[in-house]
Structure 1
Amino acid sequence: MGELFRSEEMTLAQLYLQSESAYCCVSELGEIGMVQFRDLNPDVNVFQRKFVNEVRRCEEMDRKLRDAQLTMSPATFEKLENELKEINTNQEALKKNFLELTELKHILRRTQQFFDEVNSTFNDATRFVAGVISRERIPTFERMLWRVCRGNVFLRQADIEDSLEDPATGDQVYKSVFIIFFQGDQLKTRVKKICEGFRASLYPCPETPQERKEMAAGVATRIDDLQMVLNQTEDHRQRVLQAAAKTVRVWFIKVRKMKAVYHTLNLCNIDVTQKCLIAEVWCPVSDMDSIQFALRRGTEKSGSTVPSILNRMQTKQTPPTFNKTNKFTSGFQNIVDAYGIGNYREMNPAPYTIITFPFLFAVMFGDLGHGVLMTCAALYLVLRESRLVAQKNDNEMFSMVFAGRYIILLMGVFSIYTGIIYNDCFSKSLNLFGSGWSVRPMFDPRVLQLDPAVRGVFNGPYPIGIDPIWNIATNKLTFLNSFKMKMSVILGVIHMLFGVSLSLFNHLYFKKPLNIYLGFIPEIVFMASLFGYLVILVFYKWLAYDAHTSRNAPSLLIAFINMFLFNYNDPTNQPLYRGQMVIQTLLVLIALACVPCMLIPNEIAPDLIWTGLPLPVLLCPCHRGVYTGCVFSLPPLLLQFNFGDVAVHQAIHTIEYCLGCISNTASYLRLWALSLAHAQLSEVLWTMVMHLGLSSRSFGGFVALSIIFGAFAVLTVCILLIMEGLSAFLHALRLHWVEFQNKFYVGQGFKFLPFTFESILEGRFED
């Protein structure tokens, strides 16, 4: 049992990789993902490692692929990149030429109107410049012309209605046509400088109408020809990109794999001959054959005649922890790992969590109807998982729910079971087998005369679950509170005792006998003497009293308190059985006797235990051998033993455990509290919402019922399934982390992180 639920046995291995086959061998190891490379060059700067240039080339190629969103083989990619650069440069030049011609077309179209307005004002000495400027700069441009030229210019402008494309940025801009009339070379120089400062484009414009008309016709022809060339250029560019895009995913993956392999090779050492790379890896012992086969494949692919060598190494270093999982167990393992990565070969709580976690959740969430809805939702995710995985949804919330689909499925199935036990379906009970209670004999005078206890009222227990008659009983809440509270204590004590029992397998495996005698045995005796006894009292009370004698049953809570106070003269609470005082006194004394045993430090190195020295010598406060009372020859390891630190640590652990037994048992009462809260909230929702629609019998009531049922369904999903489900999930998580796992699980190890392409590429690409 201990070996079955422990992490994989790991070993440290040394690899001798020939230079010509090192890349292929590491690539094959990345495919199987079963080795974790150790950095053998921790003091070497990353820029001084052997394969730093290869890593840089891969990063540059990766950058180019991200920018261009295409890829080919390195040679093909370089050729394609140059071709695209040339296409883009030519296309930008063509677009710039097209913009200039378009602006000139608008200038020629507008200038005739400007000339007609100024012919009567200016003489033959009048000069002009025409151009195009951004529309938002017109007011500032006009003020600057007026101030610099002292009002000796005449500006006319008109907006271009259609937007124009900027060839550099691709943005749509709005511009205006302008023409400036002036006299003299001095003003001409000033006007051109102002136009240059405002980034206005100036174009030649003929003075005569005939010349302007001929130029306009030529510009229109050139625009048509240029538009055709632009269309052909864009079509060619799209064909090139589409051809390249067919392999974009493949080459993105190849480049990232190359970068990962070279980065891994930088972790290796190079021997003196410069022909062999030496690597150290952690790997599972069970996968040694697979690793050896991967190295053989890599050697064959590289064409090398010298095989790579794999040797196991002896080491005292703590190996990483590796727990093999599949799509079903990975979710439960993640729950455990969120608390802490287990120590190497420590008992793994995940296999037990597969059952206990959804069951404790269901105890708090138990409702047949809600469990069916949760199970159906989880079944949808499970049955369509291959299609949903292929879709690669980016929604973080959906991804988290999808990763825990098997957890949700088991939570739903267990909720159906506990819903049957509670006989609760959307806050209503199901009367499948007929109630075991009947009130008819209470109204029969003959029965009343014969038996004051009114025999025949109770005809036997309901076959499974709680009798539906309790749904209409006035003391329903009192009965359910008592039942669920005792059930919570029973489940909690069993759960904690099971956690303490698992610690025995850790002590046996790690060869710590002192932990068994001074740790496990006192701990389990302490808990069983007090809280195990309380569970026995609960079962005894259920069996010893029936419906007729239950009114005389003593209170277990008061009896348990009196047990610690040694108070057995309470007239309000009679004993449950004969000899109760003797047994309870003995159990309390046994529990108290366990405390000093737990206070003795037991976290002593196993090497000290097997020295054969007496226990008092091992526990004596010897510091660096300075203690005159010690007459034994102490081993060097014992001289490094700090008794004070260990004693304080053990005292804290003992106090925490003893007080924790009380607080942890009380913590399991959350099973009762949340179960009650869920049932009451479900009942309130039914009474305040669904009952209103069902009470109406008119045709309008049918419409109202449809609306109310929709509201009831939404509130059920949002509040009772999602919010209440999340609350029960978090409380079940806390019960496992704090109340269960701390009894045997340290969780201070470090995770096995193998070199695997799957984890490197996961989530990086989309179909």
Structure 2
Amino acid sequence: MTLPRNQTEHHDMRVVRPYSPLLCHQAHDRYNMGSLFRSEEMALAQLFIQPEAAYFVVSELGETGCVQFRDLNEETNVFQRQFVSEVRRCEEMEKKLRYIEQEVKRDDVFVPDMRELPMAPNPRQIIDLEAHLEKTEADIRELSENTATLKSDLNELVQMKHVLEKAQNFFNQREEVTHDPNWSPDDVEGDTPLGYVAGVINQEKFYPFEKILWRIGRGNIFVKYDEINEALDDPKTGTRNKKVAFMAFFQGSNLQSRVKKICAGFHVSLCECPHSASSRRERLISIATDVADIETVLNQTMDHRRRLLHTVAKELANWTVMVCKMKAIYHTLNLLSVDVSKKFLIGEAWVPTADMHLVENALTQGSISCGSTVPSFLNIIETKETPPTFNRTNKFTQGFQNLISSYAFASYRELNPALYTIVTFPFLFAVMFGDLGHGAIMFLSGLSLVLLEKKLERRKDMGEIFNIFFAGRYIILLMGLFSMYTGFIYNDIFSKSMNIFGTKWKVMYDTLPENSSDSYYQFVPRINFEGDPYWAGVDPAWQSAENKIIFLNSFKMKLSIIIGVVHMVFGIVLSTVNFIHLKKYSALLLDFLPKILFFFLMFVYLVVMVFMKYTMYSGLYDGANDTDTSPGVDTVHGSSCAPSVLIYFIDMMLFKQPDATDPCEKYMYPSQEIIQKMFIFVALICIPFLLLGTPLYEMQKRKRSHRAQGVNHVENGYRNGQVNQAMEMDSRESMKQALTPTSTAEEGHEEEEEPMSEIFVHSAIHTIEYTLSTVSHTASYLRLWALSLAHAQLSEVLWTMVFRKGLTMSGYVGVAAVFIIFAVWAFFTVAILVLMEGLSAFLHTLRLHWVEFMTKFYEGAGYDFRPFSFKTVLEPED
């Protein structure tokens, strides 16, 4: 289909082609082969939607959640867009819903959970929903106002009743003194009668109120008070306040005006109290009747309000979801532009090619829902803009993908590290956290979160920290499982060992030596070792060896270097996948080859020497210090002649010969010195090759392209001459056909080239960063050794300092002490060794992936694919 003229001008440097369903099904098949390997293919689709079907189409797209719309009205003010009035209507309905929800929560009415989310209402239902919400809000407001008015009147009557009762008690006491049943303050002897004011005040305000009355009246104001035992509800706030009924007696109009001003300042509720006892009794009878009538009306009003709120609560969640969807739809419609003929709404959106059939179905379903006979359709726009990155995940892979996305979003179609992180992340964590007992605790914690995930997903009050753990439940599960494996290899369970297959060490004496003060022994392979090694992992006898730390220190340090080198080599090899996919075949020779050679000749060779040391030198004899000269004993490859691999590596870098004593040899194998010098020479050659290879190749490539462009200009000039002749001889139709290739060539004009100076600078930075990082990154993997050793020692210290003391006690005290000390030991085990040490190992593992592993092949210069989805709109932000 040919675009309108204004749309063709808007999408310069783009080619619009019609959508093909066959391509979508092919792309969907490719997704089934696995999209976690790299981000999915994206297409920029141009949607032509009928105005009457726009609401239904966007609603269907919101349900599928596979389209990321672009704003085509960026220059238009938000308040000047087409659907701004509909958005305001939705906001007004949201205000009504918030008020209704507030009233429902105030009365503690139960709101049932939704079994399934309702669909967005159609435009006809919106009018009915808006009218129903308006009527419901008006009814609740009217009932709330009536309830507040009735409660206020009831409080006034109750307060007046208490004041009259307290006044009646006071006057009754005076009647007992004067023996006059008709006594009143007017009977006071003197020229000026005794006046009084009666009222009710909050209990917390009464003390300062009484103090001010005393100071203002200079002791001439007498206050009689009594607490009201019945707590009264505030009609506005709903809080219950304790009140105090009082009577202030004074003499003279001057004091009367002062007392009334003070009462007004303290917001005192004044009550009229008759002077005669008969009037007070009649007033009390009248108040009692009014209180009974108001309570009856109030109970009926509150019952009606409660029934209304219970009815509303059943639909409140559905109404909230429907209004939220409506608002999201109209916000999305404001991103669309109107065609010149005003027959179409035009939108642009990024769509995964595997989901293109869903977009087509949404366009068709939208037209059917509104009853339109004119179909909506889409075109695919070929553009040079970088599409967003979309990695399709499930609940298992989402946590690992979040670890990668927290660092940076992958570039479009770049290799996704999350696929390999599923295995490498829990394994590197387990190397540092290796303990069978602690790993079991972590595994059971993750397993419980996985088994209860459906129940926990429905809860909304779990807290921020728990939500983080719940989001990474599968990561915790695998970290615990891998930690159990490494704990089995380390033969470490709560700092103790398991003798499953029988130890291969023997002790030369049955009793302790005289100079020994404990039960620890030095293990010497040529003395205490029987022959065959332990079947799997570390021999349990090392738990009682005095030189256990020396053995584990050497073992775990070399193991961490081996794992780190293998991990980084794997990252360098993965860069070839990106080069092949992006068709940068020259980078295989100019980037990958010097990098892998430099790394192999330096650090892989270091690992090879570690394995050579393990295989060539044995601890079953002492080498130079061994007095056994029987045939078959190789004194050169004994334990005393075993070289330090680190010293060998340093001497290799400094071109220095190692020191050796008889009968030990200087080198591990013949011609080692020559081979090491050759390795250093080739590694040094890789540096300028990596530094200048890519810039020089780019220079040659640009020279060839400039030459080719010069030839094309000559050919274009010749073609233009032919076109001019055709214009003179042929009609306008032939002229348009001749100019069509020229316009296409103008649209395909490439962007400006990057200056060569910047290419040289980037190459220099890249080379320096890589060569220096090989040393620092290799040393960084020593954290595997450090944290593993620290975790094991801390676990052993906790056992020795806490739980072991409880096992030494005997009798009834020992039984009670074991329970108490076990609780303390278990608390510190979970709090320190599982949570704190686990968090520390997690952060170190995260750094090893972000810095040491991913920088070898991961660019991370993309941006996230954020589709329009009702699920995302309705979920709270994490």
- Confirm whether residue 35 of structure 1 aligns to residue 127 of structure 2: no
Alignment of 1:155-166 (within 5 A): 157-162=224-229, 163-166=231-234
Which residue number corresponds to residue 730 of structure 1?
843
* 1:199-244: CA deviation from partner (whole Å, max 9, x where unpaired): 5555555444333322321221111121121111111111111110
* 1:116-174: CA deviation from partner (whole Å, max 9, x where unpaired): 363541589958575425253686589679979x99x9766434523443434434252
Residue type of the alignment partner of 1:80: T
Q: CA separation of 1:216/1:695 partners in 2, compared to 1, >3 Å: closer, same or farther? A: closer
Which residue number corresponds to residue 21 of structure 1?
53
Which residue number corresponds to residue 625 of structure 1?
none
- The range that moved more, 57-66 or 492-501, is 57-66
Which residue number corresponds to residue 566 of structure 2?
494
Contact 2:695 2:756 in 1 (8 A): no
Which residue number corresponds to residue 290 of structure 1?
358
Alignment of 1:175-324 (within 5 A): 175-178=244-247, 199-324=267-392
**Match 2:798 to one of 681, 685, 699:** 685
Take 1:299 and 1:305, find their aligned partners in 2: how far apart are those partners?
A: 7
Normalising by the residue count of structure 1, what TM-score does the alignment of the two structures yield? 0.88
Contact 1:34 1:284 in 2 (8 A): yes
Which residue number corresponds to residue 687 of structure 2?
595
**Match 1:65 to one of 87, 97, 108:** 97
Q: CA separation of 1:506/1:142 partners in 2, compared to 1, >3 Å: closer, same or farther? A: closer
Q: How many correspondences in the alignment?
A: 736
Which residue number corresponds to residue 489 of structure 2?
421
Take 2:214 and 2:528, find their aligned partners in 1: how far apart are those partners?
A: 112
Take 2:207 and 2:310, find their aligned partners in 1: how far apart are those partners?
A: 43
- Confirm whether residue 554 of structure 1 aligns to residue 643 of structure 2: yes
Take 2:431 and 2:443, find their aligned partners in 1: how far apart are those partners?
A: 16
* 1:683-706: CA deviation from partner (whole Å, max 9, x where unpaired): 112222222222334332222122
Residue type of the alignment partner of 1:176: A
Contact 2:96 2:134 in 1 (8 A): no
Take 2:200 and 2:540, find their aligned partners in 1: how far apart are those partners?
A: 86
* 1:549-598: CA deviation from partner (whole Å, max 9, x where unpaired): 23322221111111112223633572000111121111111101100011
Contact 1:34 1:283 in 2 (8 A): yes
Q: CA separation of 1:764/1:84 partners in 2, compared to 1, >3 Å: closer, same or farther? A: farther
The CA deviation at 1:480 is 1.4
The CA deviation at 1:13 is 0.4
Which residue number corresponds to residue 516 of structure 1?
588
Take 2:528 and 2:255, find their aligned partners in 1: how far apart are those partners?
A: 121
**Match 2:158 to one of 91, 102, 108:** 102
> Percent identity among equivalent residues?
49
- Confirm whether residue 470 of structure 1 aligns to residue 526 of structure 2: no
* 1:493-522: CA deviation from partner (whole Å, max 9, x where unpaired): 111111111111111211223322221110
- Confirm whether residue 56 of structure 1 aligns to residue 124 of structure 2: no
The CA deviation at 1:349 is 0.4
Contact 1:512 1:606 in 2 (8 A): no
Which residue number corresponds to residue 74 of structure 1?
130
- Give the SS at the match of 2:183: helix
The CA deviation at 1:638 is 10
Q: CA separation of 1:314/1:605 partners in 2, compared to 1, >3 Å: closer, same or farther? A: farther
Which residue number corresponds to residue 763 of structure 2?
650
Q: CA separation of 1:100/1:614 partners in 2, compared to 1, >3 Å: closer, same or farther? A: closer
- The range that moved more, 192-201 or 370-379, is 192-201
- Confirm whether residue 568 of structure 1 aligns to residue 624 of structure 2: no
Residue type of the alignment partner of 2:369: K
Contact 2:166 2:226 in 1 (8 A): no
Residue type of the alignment partner of 1:552: C
Residue type of the alignment partner of 1:710: A
Contact 2:36 2:392 in 1 (8 A): no
The CA deviation at 1:15 is 0.9
Which residue number corresponds to residue 721 of structure 1?
834
Contact 1:320 1:752 in 2 (8 A): yes
The CA deviation at 1:732 is 0.7
Q: CA separation of 1:607/1:109 partners in 2, compared to 1, >3 Å: closer, same or farther? A: farther
Q: CA separation of 1:156/1:684 partners in 2, compared to 1, >3 Å: closer, same or farther? A: closer
Which residue number corresponds to residue 443 of structure 2?
375
Normalising by the residue count of structure 2, what TM-score does the alignment of the two structures yield? 0.78
- The range that moved more, 432-441 or 514-523, is 432-441
Q: CA separation of 1:667/1:128 partners in 2, compared to 1, >3 Å: closer, same or farther? A: same
* 1:436-473: CA deviation from partner (whole Å, max 9, x where unpaired): 23345999xxxxxxxx9979943211111122222222
Contact 2:210 2:223 in 1 (8 A): no
- Give the SS at the match of 1:58: helix
Contact 1:165 1:173 in 2 (8 A): no
Residue type of the alignment partner of 2:681: L
- Confirm whether residue 485 of structure 1 aligns to residue 557 of structure 2: yes
Which residue number corresponds to residue 622 of structure 1?
none
Contact 2:97 2:133 in 1 (8 A): no
Contact 2:489 2:536 in 1 (8 A): yes
Q: CA separation of 1:48/1:468 partners in 2, compared to 1, >3 Å: closer, same or farther? A: same
Contact 1:12 1:315 in 2 (8 A): yes
- Confirm whether residue 387 of structure 1 aligns to residue 479 of structure 2: no
- Give the SS at the match of 1:211: helix
Q: CA separation of 1:605/1:386 partners in 2, compared to 1, >3 Å: closer, same or farther? A: farther
Q: CA separation of 1:335/1:166 partners in 2, compared to 1, >3 Å: closer, same or farther? A: closer
Q: CA separation of 1:117/1:308 partners in 2, compared to 1, >3 Å: closer, same or farther? A: same
- Confirm whether residue 586 of structure 1 aligns to residue 686 of structure 2: no
Which residue number corresponds to residue 110 of structure 2?
none
The CA deviation at 1:477 is 1.5
Q: CA separation of 1:159/1:407 partners in 2, compared to 1, >3 Å: closer, same or farther? A: same
Residue type of the alignment partner of 2:598: F
Q: In structure 1, list runs of 5 or more residues that go unmatched.
A: 444-451, 616-634
- The range that moved more, 136-145 or 33-42, is 136-145
* 1:58-112: CA deviation from partner (whole Å, max 9, x where unpaired): 1121122112217993222211211122212222222232223223323433445
The CA deviation at 1:664 is 0.7
Q: CA separation of 1:368/1:227 partners in 2, compared to 1, >3 Å: closer, same or farther? A: same
Which residue number corresponds to residue 619 of structure 1?
none
Which residue number corresponds to residue 606 of structure 2?
534
The CA deviation at 1:435 is 2.0
The CA deviation at 1:393 is 4.0
Contact 1:368 1:419 in 2 (8 A): yes
- Confirm whether residue 358 of structure 1 aligns to residue 426 of structure 2: yes
- Give the SS at the match of 2:533: coil
- Give the SS at the match of 2:347: strand
Contact 2:434 2:492 in 1 (8 A): yes
The CA deviation at 1:642 is 1.6
What is the root-mean-square deviation of aligned Cα atoms in Å?
3.4
Take 1:665 and 1:80, find their aligned partners in 2: how far apart are those partners?
A: 68
Residue type of the alignment partner of 2:612: Y
- Confirm whether residue 404 of structure 1 aligns to residue 451 of structure 2: no
Which residue number corresponds to residue 516 of structure 2?
none
- The range that moved more, 198-207 or 406-415, is 198-207
Contact 2:425 2:846 in 1 (8 A): yes
The CA deviation at 1:538 is 1.3
- Give the SS at the match of 1:516: helix
Which residue number corresponds to residue 506 of structure 1?
578
Q: CA separation of 1:78/1:477 partners in 2, compared to 1, >3 Å: closer, same or farther? A: same
Residue type of the alignment partner of 2:835: I
- Give the SS at the match of 2:47: strand
Q: CA separation of 1:723/1:603 partners in 2, compared to 1, >3 Å: closer, same or farther? A: farther
Take 2:531 and 2:388, find their aligned partners in 1: how far apart are those partners?
A: 61
Residue type of the alignment partner of 2:140: L
The CA deviation at 1:273 is 3.2
Take 1:422 and 1:603, find their aligned partners in 2: how far apart are those partners?
A: 49
Q: CA separation of 1:613/1:565 partners in 2, compared to 1, >3 Å: closer, same or farther? A: farther
